[in-house]
């Protein structure tokens, strides 16, 4: 059995499962420094060789950055695997150029958990669940404003990847009209789900619930800002379970304060955790705010831990990982492995 060296960050997710799983496979664990809560770990250039020069694999979390310089310093690197579904912390383009495979935790327990959370938020917002609970706790019995049904309403999906499709699948039979905006989706996907493809502005104007399902890129950063919020109905709700920076939080706070939209459900933040002076934290009844864990479950944690182990071990053995972020690298990756093996 090869004596692989696997780099784990100082604040490793699912540590109680991942570490013994790798050690049972004969891996030597090398730990990075612990970070400061709420601050991304950026490895100092002068420490890169000492930290990464001898590692065969890296398991990354969203709490550290892995730019080109880190990947270049990891001369023996066979695989870098994100412990979660997101890979924004990894320079995937640089990894692809270098012939390094990037794996991630694209398990159904993860993305379908987000889909379930979206439906939860939509119902809680439309039904005004928070206000009704507060009314009862304040001994107000059946106030006059009852909220609304989701039935016969229009549900807008910005992005029709795994999560957006999962939401559409869960809304089947609910009697809702579904609009979708995704310039990259194959047309048969929305057709199969009964989703009407349209442009973003039309979706915003016509939807009663707008839910965001995009990865964070230059194109999607502040995709929803002042102009887009002004297009929404005053009775509409915005849901963001994707990436915090897809929404301009300052613009959203202004829209909520002015009553330009009815409410919002936010699980992701531009800065995580948000600072105490984040203007969204002032809203009570018309906002449901959660700490980027609404979709989490024990099933998800168990699946992500096992997948992090499996992706890493498969990559070390030269086998394709279970979930690959950059599949076009695979031929170049096999060539890199041959060079590393001296064959």
Domain spans of the chain, in order of start: 5-104+298-341, 109-289
What pLDDT score does 145 carry? 83
102 — phi, psi (to 5°)? -110, 120
> Given this model, what pLDDT does residue 144 score?
79
Active site residue 272: yes
Asked whether the beta carbons of 321 and 59 are under 8 A apart, the reply is no
Annotated catalytic residue: which of 243, 260, 296, 314? Answer: 243
How crowded is residue 34: how many other Cβ atoms within 10 Å of its Cβ?
Answer: 12
pLDDT in tens, 295-324: 999 999 999 999 999 999 999 999 999 999
DSSP 329: G
CATH 3.30.70.1450 fits 109-289, yes or no: no
How far are the Cα atoms of 189, 276, 334 from residue 184, in angstroms, in the given order?
11, 37, 29
| List 292, 299, 310, 336, catalytic entry | 292
pLDDT of residue 174: 97
5-104+298-341, CATH topology level:
Rossmann fold (3.40.50)
Residue 135 has pLDDT above 60, yes or no: yes
Active-site option among 272, 284, 319, 335: 272
Q: Decide if 292 is catalytic.
A: yes
pLDDT digits (tens, 9 = 90+) for 250-280: 999 999 999 999 999 999 999 999 999 999 9
Same fold for the pair 5-104+298-341 and 109-289 = yes
SS3 of 180, please?
A: strand
Q: 342: pLDDT confidence band, cut at 50, 70 and 90?
A: confident
Rounded to an integer, the average pLDDT of 285-291 is 95
Contact call for residues 286 and 262 (beta carbons, < 8 A): yes
DSSP 277: T
CA dihedral (227, 231, 235, 238) positive or negative: negative
Task: Tally the C-alpha atoms within 13 A of residue 18's C-alpha that lie toward its C-beta.
Answer: 29
109 is catalytic: no
| Mean pLDDT over each residue of the chain, to the nearest integer | 96
Task: Give the residue-averaged pLDDT of 210-224.
Answer: 96
In percent, the amount of the chain with pLDDT more than 90 equals 94
How far is Cα 326 from Cα 266, in angstroms, rounded to an integer? 29
* 1 pLDDT higher than 60: no
What is the model's pLDDT at position 343? 62
pLDDT average, residue stretch 83-110: 96
Name 208's Cβ contacts closer than 8 Å, sequence gap at least 6: 126, 153, 154, 155, 233, 235, 236, 237
For residue 143, the model assigns a pLDDT of 81
């Amino acid at each position: 059995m090869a004596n692989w060296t696997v780099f784990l960050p100082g604040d490793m997710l699912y540590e109680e499962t991942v570490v013994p799983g790798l050690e049972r496979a004969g891996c030597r664990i090398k730990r990075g420094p612990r970070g400061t809560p709420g601050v991304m770990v950026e490895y100092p250039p002068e420490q890169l060789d000492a930290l990464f020069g001898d590692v065969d694999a890296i398991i990354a979390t969203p709490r550290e950055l892995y730019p080109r310089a880190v990947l270049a310093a990891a001369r023996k690197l066979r695989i870098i695997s994100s412990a979660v579904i997101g890979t924004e912390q990894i320079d995937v383009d640089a990894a692809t150029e270098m012939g390094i495979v990037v794996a991630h935790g694209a398990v159904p327990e993860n993305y379908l958990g987000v889909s379930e959370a979206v439906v939860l938020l939509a119902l809680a917002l439309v039904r005004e669940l928070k206000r009704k609970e507060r009314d009862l706790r304040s001994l107000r019995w059946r106030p006059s404003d009852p909220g609304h049904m989701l039935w016969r309403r229009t549900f807008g999906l910005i992005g029709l990847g795994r999560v957006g499709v999962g939401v559409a699948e869960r809304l089947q039979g609910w009697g809702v009209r579904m609009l979708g905006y995704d310039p990259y989706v194959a047309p048969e996907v929305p057709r199969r789900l009964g989703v009407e493809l349209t442009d973003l502005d039309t979706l915003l104007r016509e939807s009663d619930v707008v839910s965001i399902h995009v990865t964070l890129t230059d194109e999607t950063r502040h995709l929803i800002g002042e102009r887009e919020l002004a297009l929404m109905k005053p009775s509409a709700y915005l849901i963001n379970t994707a990436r915090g920076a897809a929404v301009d939080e300052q613009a959203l706070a202004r829209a909520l304060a002015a009553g330009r939209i009815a409410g919002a459900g936010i699980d992701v933040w531009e800065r995580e955790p948000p600072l105490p002076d984040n203007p969204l934290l002032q809203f009570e009844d018309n906002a449901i705010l959660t700490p980027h864990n609404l979709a989490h479950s024990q099933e998800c944690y168990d699946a992500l831990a096992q997948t992090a182990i499996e992706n890493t071990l498969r990559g070390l053995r030269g086998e394709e990982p279970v979930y690959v972020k950059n599949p076009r690298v695979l031929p170049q990756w096999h060539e890199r492995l041959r060079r590393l093996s001296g064959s």
